[in-house]
Structure 1
Amino acid sequence: KRPPTTPKYERPTKHHYPSRSTTTETYEEHPSLNEIGLYSDSGVQWQPSIIMVVILFLQVNINLFWRQQRI
Structure 2
Amino acid sequence: MKNHIKVFRAHRKISQAALADLLDVSRQSINAIETGKYDPSLPLAFKIARLFEVPIEEIFEYEADQQLADTK
**TM-score normalised over the length of structure 2:** 0.30
Task: From the two aligned structures, give the one with the greater helix fraction.
Answer: 1
Q: Give the greater-gyration-radius structure (CA).
A: 1
Structure with more relative contact order (C-alpha pairs < 8 Å, separation 6 or more): 2
Task: From the two aligned structures, give the one with the greater strand fraction.
Answer: 2
**TM-score normalised over the length of structure 1:** 0.30
